[in-house]
Every structure is written in C-alpha cells, then in structure tokens.
Structure 1
Amino acid sequence: MAPTLGRQARRSHTGKVVSRGRPVRRRFPGVPDLERAADRIARITAAPHDLVTLWRETTDVLTAAVPFYRTPCWYTLDPASLLMTSHFHDGMPEFPAEWLHAEYLSDDVHHLVDVTRSPAGISTLHEVTGGDPSASPRWRANMEMGGDQELILGLRTRTGEVWGALGLYREPGEPLFDGREKQFLTAVAPRLAEGARRALLVGEAADPEGPESPGLVILDERFDVHSATPGVDRWLAELPDGDADAGRLPTALLTVAARAASGDGGVAVARVRSRGGTWMVLHGAPLVSTGERRVAVIIEPAHPARILPLLMAAYGLTERERDVTRAVLQGGSTAQIADELVLSTHTVQQHLKSVFDKTGVRSRRDLVATVFFTHYEPRFRDNEDRVVRHRPVRGGPVRRP
C-alpha cells in the first residue's frame, strides 16, 4: 500500500526538490532510456551497498524510467518463507499495523507472496481483478491516500530465490503500467534481488548479530587487505590453504576477488568447503567509487534457512511437518506441497492437522499470521528503528537464544 505523506515539499537525499503532496509529472521514457536505466541499475546493484543506499539510488533511476506516484515501497523477504523482514518507504518510518494485518490476515488479492511465487513475478491490482479493483479492500485503502494503480514486482534471483519485492503506484487518471515498463522491471528484478541479498550480508558483516555472521574483506589493487570487519579472521582461518601468520590469503578468496575485479562490473560467487568440512560462500564485488580500484569479498557460512530449525524448536515440529509448514508459508496449495515433497495429498493434510494442533491455529492463514507476528514482526519493527538510527538492516526471522 502507498504511504501517507504530507503535502509540503521536501529536498531529497540527492538535493532535488520533490513534492510530497502531488505526483511529479514525467514523460514516459523510450526504449533507449530504459536500456540506460537497466545499465545504471546493474552498476548500482553490483556494488556492496547498505540496503537503504541501494533502495535510494535505485529509486533515483526508477523515477525517470517508470513514472510512479509519491514513493516506491521496497521490501525484503526471507526466501525460506517469503515473509517480510523489512520495508523502506522514504518519508514513512513506521509501517501501519493495519497494513501488516491486511497482508497476512485479510481475504484479499495481490498479496506479496502471491506475486513473488507466480510464474511472471509481476502483476498489477487491475490485472488480478479483471480491470475492476473496486471490490478489493487493498484498492480502497490505496484510493484513500490518492493512489489507484498498484504494481508489485517480486525480486527473484536467476536461480529463483526471492529476496524482496517492489510496490509502485499511480494516481487516478494516469496511464496503466504497460508491457514495456513491466518488461523492463522484470529484466532488472534479478539484479535487484542479488543487490538486496548482498546489502543484507554487508550490513550483517558491518554490525554482526552473532558468531555466525558473515565477514567482509576489502582488498586493494594489489590484492592486499585494505580493511576488514571484526571477526573475519575466523572465516579466513576456515578457508583452505591460507596462512594468516605468513600473510598468505586463501586461494579461494583471491580467485573470487580477481573475478570480481576483471573489469566487467559483475559479481563473483564461489562455494568452498572449509577446513572443518562445512560449506562457505564467498561473494566478490568491485568497488570503483573510491577513486582507487578495490574489491570487496563477503564470506559467509552456508547454513540452512534460519526459520527451519526455529520452527522445530518453537513448536516441536518434525522435519516433515517443518517442510510442510515452510511450503504453506510460501503460499503452496495442498497439491503443490504434495508434488514438491513427493507425498500424497492425504498425507499432506495429516501433517497439516498435526501442525495446526502444535501451533494452536485452525487454518493456513492463521498459521502464516502466527509465524509472521511471532518471529518476523519483531525483526520488521527492529529494522524500522535501525533505519532511523542509520544502522544496517537485517534479514531473516529474529534469532532466539
């Protein structure tokens, strides 16, 4: 839903004056403009930004590429559950509680999970209501704040992981979002998803939440360590063939750094088995805004999604009940869950009945709401506070001791 903003003019972080009360009329861009916009987004998302910087810089590009009303609505989602972990609406530090209830408790259309798991990964409220959204409470809420059209884009990587969503709005009387604009947004969605994933890693490396938090190493043009986040020595020691005492960096780290610095502006990723036999993931990205060519490498343990052990510990679920619950959180139907887990629909229903008993709910919707408001809303609200205090945004559910 579009945020409520005042009617005074404000000066954006770029120094440009924009109106909070009225949309800025912009020309609709041509194909070359969209191509340039896609190139700019590729460069922005390749750099290891913090999340708010990523969203703000991308918003500047979208402002010229795809006209919208007021401000975009950016979300991060946990790819294991497709539940919201943060939002960023410039000018609205707190997401209204009634919007969260509408997202997870209402019988409406155009929920984030429905769009992000759909084959297209993008849709408008007008499309899903057959051109007449007037019966949708979501549309009526948008209209109360001056919006009419709503477009939602799922931010999915090329491998299918969902890391976020984008909501864009237009006021009554404006042209509908057209095929060319939706094609552009779909094309840049994987870049935005990868950028969001990287931004969350950068944030957690800079402000670790626990011993399993990732580490960040900045290498100079000679591939010597320029700087590093606290605790990264632990991960460097886990990588094979490195020797900190001798000043020798692990081969895997140097390889990823070299690929990231190759000049194509891309991001390098490698999965490496540690000395202890576990898997670690390295993400390399070039840094070119400093005037000196540097490379950032993020090191993280390849651990399972946080929500899975949390569900088993909090509710005493079995592994199969956990898998069924995860699929329900992601919006899967009984038939889809049965197909994914290679079970009969009857067995899925039996597992669901057991899950309902253990979690104290009576329906799938109640199950989703219980998991969100118990394990994700605290993270969601804490991230709002972190944005205000200029602290890194975190992903996933709240970690319990």
Structure 2
Amino acid sequence: MGRALAAERVRRDVEVLARAGLDLDTFVEEAMASLQRAVPFDGVCVGSIDPSTGLLTGTRKLGSLRGVNEHDRDWGLLEYGEPEATTFSEMLSGGVLAAGLQAGTVGDPAESARLQEFMIPRFGYADELRTVCVDDRGQWWAGVAMFRLRGEPGFDADEVAYLASLSGSLALGMRGGLLTTLASTGPANLPGPVVLIIDASNQVAQASAGAAGRLEHLTSSSPLDGGTTGLIGSLVGAARRYARGES
C-alpha cells in the first residue's frame, strides 16, 4: 500500500514538473530525484534525442554516474552500432516503452553485450531499466537508463510497467526543457558544418576548422552534462552500422 501511494505521488510530481517550463537540467534533476523515491537506482543517464533522426544530442547523469564520462564513446559505439533488443531504437521500433534486463522484458540478459561486456565490468551494474520517452504524437525525445549495482535486487516487472507509464510525461518535460534551454541561450553564430574523420580504432584522426568550438556548443557548464564523446561515439556507431548494410 505504501509503495503504491509513493508511486502515485511521484507520478503527480513528474506530471507537474513536465508542465512547469523548466530548463533541461532542472527538469532532469528534479524528475529523477522524484523517481528515485518510487524506483530506487544507483545511477541514471538521461539522453536527449533528436526526434527527426533518432540520434543522441546530449546526456545528463546523476547518482553514481555523475561526472563519469570516460566510457561514453564506447557506450555510443555499442548503443548505435551493435544490434540488441534493448537498444533504445530497437525498443522504439518494437513498441516497447520500457524494458528491464534482468526482468527479461525483451531479450536475454546473458546475451546483452552492453550488460555483460560494458556495464558489469566497467561500472559494477548488474541490472538496467530503460524507457523511451515518447510524446502523444509519437515523437521520441529521450531515453532514460537506470542502473542497480551487483548484490542489489533487480528491477521487477512492476517497476518496468511503472516507468513505461511515465514515458509521455518524461517526453513532455524533455521537449519543454530543450525548448526553454534553447530560448534562454539564443542561436549560436558558428560558421560551417563540422567534419570529423574517424580512424579504424574509432579515434578522431582529423577535424575541420572550428570543429572544437561547434562541439563545445553542444555541451553546457552543468555538472550533469556528459560532454561530447558519447555523441561522437553514437554517430560513428550508427555510420558503421549503416555501412554494413544494417538499418
């Protein structure tokens, strides 16, 4: 009874926050703090998504992931470059709003390269709960990934269903946060596109003039911001997958 009551209070909190006109960082921090009361986690990463392309545009991290960015490039390569049932794009394509790895919502956790080869050895996370944040028009604005450490109970089916039920509210808050943040910063006066040449080891071998400034513009001074290495990794992963003829 107490758990159900807390969950409904958190739901109302998130719905109010989503309509409050908050900037992106404030919405993410306050919404995740509320969600922590209903679905406890050790770390969480919220990725903002371009709804037109499905590409990652930024990350915000809290809990034990806050400020931990050194593995972001490899995460981007896995997330966008390797087929897996619980990548955000595959979940969206399959109409799966939320998935728990150990709960077995989709796929087998023993076959998840992201969990077995990345999250467990690098972070000590033994379970992950994800949701794709989709608004009432079907546009995808964000992906949320929550983590629990080894030795803790995994996310259960009720928690998976609960997070799925918040997909629309989280999408609304992310969309509003992005628009509010853009309105407050104004347009950037940065000439030309960014061209990066990536070598076989997935390192930047060459960059066009002004690339550093353009990439810096994609980040913020917020301590939640994950920087640009994950963005570059996701682009490279998607490009390599496309080159292999995989959608």
Q: TM-score, normalised by structure 2?
A: 0.71
- The offset of 1:387, in angstroms, is 2.9
2:175 to 197, 213, 228: 197
Q: For the structure 1 residues 186 and 107, does the alpha-carbon distance in structure 2 shift closer, same or farther, using more than 3 Å as the test?
A: closer
Alignment partner, residue 178 of structure 1? 156
Q: Is the CA contact 2:110–2:116 (under 8 Å) kept in the aligned structure 1? A: no
- Give distance in 2, aligned partners of 1:380 and 1:63: 32
Q: Which runs of structure 2 are paired with 1:212-291 in the superposition (5 Å)?
A: none
Q: Is the CA contact 2:27–2:177 (under 8 Å) kept in the aligned structure 1? A: yes
Q: For the structure 1 residues 38 and 163, does the alpha-carbon distance in structure 2 shift closer, same or farther, using more than 3 Å as the test?
A: same
- Give distance in 2, aligned partners of 1:180 and 1:107: 27
Tell me the SS of whatever aligns to 2:125. Answer: coil
Identity of aligned residues (%): 22
1:97 matched to 2:73? The reply is yes
- Give distance in 2, aligned partners of 1:378 and 1:117: 34
- Give distance in 2, aligned partners of 1:115 and 1:29: 31
1:129 matched to 2:107? The reply is yes
Partner letter of residue 120 of structure 2?
M
Could you report, residue by residue, the CA deviation over 1:169-193 in whole angstroms, capped at 9, with x for unpaired residues? 1122332322221222112110110
- Give distance in 2, aligned partners of 1:40 and 1:382: 31
Partner letter of residue 136 of structure 1?
A
Q: Is the CA contact 2:133–2:168 (under 8 Å) kept in the aligned structure 1? A: yes
Q: Is the CA contact 1:152–1:165 (under 8 Å) kept in the aligned structure 2? A: yes
Q: Is the CA contact 1:85–1:380 (under 8 Å) kept in the aligned structure 2? A: no
1:42 matched to 2:31? The reply is no
Partner letter of residue 85 of structure 1?
T
Q: For the structure 1 residues 188 and 156, does the alpha-carbon distance in structure 2 shift closer, same or farther, using more than 3 Å as the test?
A: same
Tell which has more relative contact order, 1 or 2 (C-alpha 8 A, sep 6+).
2
Tell me the SS of whatever aligns to 1:384. Answer: coil
- Give distance in 1, aligned partners of 2:155 and 2:128: 9
Q: Is the CA contact 1:115–1:152 (under 8 Å) kept in the aligned structure 2? A: no
- The offset of 1:116, in angstroms, is 2.9
Could you report, residue by residue, the CA deviation over 1:365-400 in whole angstroms, capped at 9, with x for unpaired residues? xxxxxxxxx9xx99776433443599xxxxxxxxxx
Could you report, residue by residue, the CA deviation over 1:261-313 in whole angstroms, capped at 9, with x for unpaired residues? xxxxxxxxxxxxxxxxxxxxxxxxxxxxxxxxxxxxxxxxxxxxxxxxxxxx9
Alignment partner, residue 341 of structure 1? none
Q: What RMSD in Å do the two structures reach over aligned CA positions?
A: 3.6
User: Which of 1 and 2 has greater Rg?
Assistant: 1
Q: Which runs of structure 2 are paired with 1:64-79 in the superposition (5 Å)?
A: 64-69=37-42, 71-79=43-51
1:110 to 86, 105, 111: 86
Q: Is the CA contact 1:116–1:155 (under 8 Å) kept in the aligned structure 2? A: no
2:32 to 59, 63, 81: 59
2:143 to 165, 168, 179: 165
Tell me the SS of whatever aligns to 1:158. Answer: coil
1:141 matched to 2:100? The reply is no
Q: Is the CA contact 2:86–2:107 (under 8 Å) kept in the aligned structure 1? A: no
Could you report, residue by residue, the CA deviation over 1:122-157 in whole angstroms, capped at 9, with x for unpaired residues? 112332333524x62443211121101111100001
Alignment partner, residue 230 of structure 2? none
- The offset of 1:195, in angstroms, is 0.8
Structure 2: 5+ residue stretches without partners: 195-207, 226-247
- The offset of 1:37, in angstroms, is 0.6
Tell me the SS of whatever aligns to 2:52. Answer: coil
Alignment partner, residue 6 of structure 2? 33
Partner letter of residue 82 of structure 1?
G
Partner letter of residue 55 of structure 1?
V
Partner letter of residue 73 of structure 2?
A
Q: Which deviates the most, 85-94 or 184-193? A: 85-94
Structure 1: 5+ residue stretches without partners: 1-27, 212-312, 315-373, 391-401
Q: Is the CA contact 1:155–1:166 (under 8 Å) kept in the aligned structure 2? A: yes
Partner letter of residue 181 of structure 1?
E
In the alignment of these two chains, the number of paired residues is: 206
Q: Is the CA contact 1:75–1:164 (under 8 Å) kept in the aligned structure 2? A: yes
- Give distance in 2, aligned partners of 1:87 and 1:185: 19
Alignment partner, residue 384 of structure 1? 219
- Give distance in 2, aligned partners of 1:52 and 1:106: 29
Q: For the structure 1 residues 140 and 210, does the alpha-carbon distance in structure 2 shift closer, same or farther, using more than 3 Å as the test?
A: closer
- Give distance in 1, aligned partners of 2:79 and 2:41: 22
Tell me the SS of whatever aligns to 2:143. Answer: strand
- Give distance in 2, aligned partners of 1:41 and 1:137: 29
- Give distance in 1, aligned partners of 2:55 and 2:4: 34
